[in-house]
Amino acid sequence: MIRGATTPDREALRTLYREFFAEQPPPDYYGVELEQELAEVDEILARELAFVAEEDGELVGFVLARRKAGTRGLLSDIYVRPEQRRKGVATALARAAAEALAAGGATHVTLSVDPDNAPARAAYARWGFRDQSLTLVVPIEELGRRLDQGEAGPSFGSVHVQTDDIGAVARAVAQFIPRLPVRSQGTVVAPPRNGWIAVYDDACDREPELLRRLARELSDRMGAVTLAIGIERGQVVRYVVFERGRIVDEYLSVPEHYGPLPPGDAVALGANPTVIARLTGADPREVRRIARTASVPADLPPAPELLAQLTSAMRIEGADHGYAGAVEIPDAVRI
């Protein structure tokens, strides 16, 4: 039987809430104790909407609801003892609360749920609830640390083409650069070093995505292996390797630096030492040792140090600077 809760139900309702609290404790960031929650139960019982499910004279479930401003109602808490679940009790409790809220003028009902509570989320979805907003949370200490780390430094990078034909690279670059959506102040194509020709561009320093587009274009146009590598926002190291225009390896030192990623995508941003060894002659054990990933930049060597270690293992020269450091390279082609 579903009925409105009354003052004589207080102790039994509090007992049920203790069971609920033990099974689904509030997240740590709420910072609430059981006694605080029980005081709120008392307040809802006295002033808002509370319904209970009764079986053979014993309370086996409850729902608490609040009338909010405007035409919104809040389903605050709902709980049914485990042995009474899958019998429609929760549905009946929710119906009672919804009818009472509607009678008070509510046209919509909101609720909060732990994202890991799959059974509750499935039930709410069946009842028609859908995601409307997302609450984000972070410990204050971590927020402060990340804000300190979040002061963006400069980005810079370079593209390295596996060829000795500087003329062909310069011609390909000259055809591509005018098509960039960001105006470039200059481009430098450096003479070959260790079998690689380096390309530096002002616009690609400012927009790392353009650096990767340039590397892809040169790889596709020349049928060559190209490497786009650099430091982004002064904090993270990224490289992308292309072979005949296709990405064959990608690394980002902090895979979720720009936001959460699906697990598979995060893993994909780890270096593939076998591929790097095949294309650059690097020792795969060294690549594996150096190209580690972390959740925050502070857990890795400083970005310039990490970049230097990577390029040394790959035998790539001239990747420690961008366009500003390339303008004085002897015998370079300037575009």
Q: pLDDT tens digits for 116-126?
A: 788 888 889 99
Q: How far apart are the C-alpha atoms of 292 and 14, rounded to whole Å?
A: 51
> Are 72 and 178 in the same domain?
no
> Are 118 and 170 in the same domain?
no
Across the range 48-53, mean pLDDT stands at 96
Confidence of residue 252 (pLDDT cuts 50, 70, 90): very high
For the CA atoms of 97, 101, 106, 109, the dihedral, rounded to the nearest 10 degrees, stands at: -20
Number of compact structural domains in the chain:
2
> Are 120 and 184 in the same domain?
no
Domain edge (last residue) among 106, 137, 168: 137
> Are 162 and 297 in the same domain?
yes
Across the range 69-90, mean pLDDT stands at 93
Share the mean pLDDT of the chain: 92
pLDDT (0 to 100) of residue 305: 96
In this structure, what CATH number is given to the domain that contains residue 34?
3.40.630.30
Across the range 27-42, mean pLDDT stands at 85
> Are 155 and 304 in the same domain?
yes
Q: Tens digit of pLDDT for each residue in 286-313? A: 999 999 999 989 899 999 999 999 999 9
> Are 64 and 92 in the same domain?
yes
In a domain, 244, yes or no: yes
Domain edge (last residue) among 137, 158, 183: 137
Confidence of residue 182 (pLDDT cuts 50, 70, 90): confident
Domain edge (last residue) among 93, 115, 137: 137
pLDDT (0 to 100) of residue 104: 92
pLDDT (0 to 100) of residue 98: 95
Question: Does pLDDT of 229 surpass 90?
Answer: yes
In a domain, 160, yes or no: yes
Across the range 160-174, mean pLDDT stands at 97
In a domain, 142, yes or no: no
pLDDT (0 to 100) of residue 151: 56
pLDDT (0 to 100) of residue 29: 67
Question: Does pLDDT of 258 surpass 70?
Answer: yes
In a domain, 143, yes or no: no
Confidence of residue 247 (pLDDT cuts 50, 70, 90): very high
Question: Does pLDDT of 1 surpass 80?
Answer: yes
Question: Does pLDDT of 150 surpass 80?
Answer: no
pLDDT (0 to 100) of residue 134: 79
> Are 62 and 198 in the same domain?
no
End-to-end CA distance of the chain: give it in Å, rounded: 82
In a domain, 124, yes or no: yes
Confidence of residue 148 (pLDDT cuts 50, 70, 90): low
Across the range 45-63, mean pLDDT stands at 95
pLDDT (0 to 100) of residue 90: 94
Which of 299, 279, 151, 303 lies closest to 226, judged by CA?
A: 279
> Are 195 and 329 in the same domain?
yes
Identity of the amino acid at 171 = R
> Are 282 and 303 in the same domain?
yes
Confidence of residue 136 (pLDDT cuts 50, 70, 90): confident
> Are 169 and 291 in the same domain?
yes
> Are 132 and 24 in the same domain?
yes
> Are 109 and 59 in the same domain?
yes
Find the domain containing 21 and state its range: 2-137
Confidence of residue 145 (pLDDT cuts 50, 70, 90): low
In a domain, 205, yes or no: yes
Q: Tens digit of pLDDT for each residue in 213-227? A: 999 999 999 999 999
Question: Does pLDDT of 143 surpass 80?
Answer: no
pLDDT (0 to 100) of residue 146: 62
In a domain, 304, yes or no: yes
In a domain, 152, yes or no: yes
Q: How far apart are the C-alpha atoms of 149 and 257, rounded to whole Å?
A: 11
Question: Does pLDDT of 161 surpass 90?
Answer: yes
Q: How far apart are the C-alpha atoms of 153 and 233, rounded to whole Å?
A: 5
Confidence of residue 149 (pLDDT cuts 50, 70, 90): low
Question: Does pLDDT of 59 surpass 80?
Answer: yes
Cβ atoms of residues 197 and 168 within 8 Å: no
pLDDT (0 to 100) of residue 152: 64
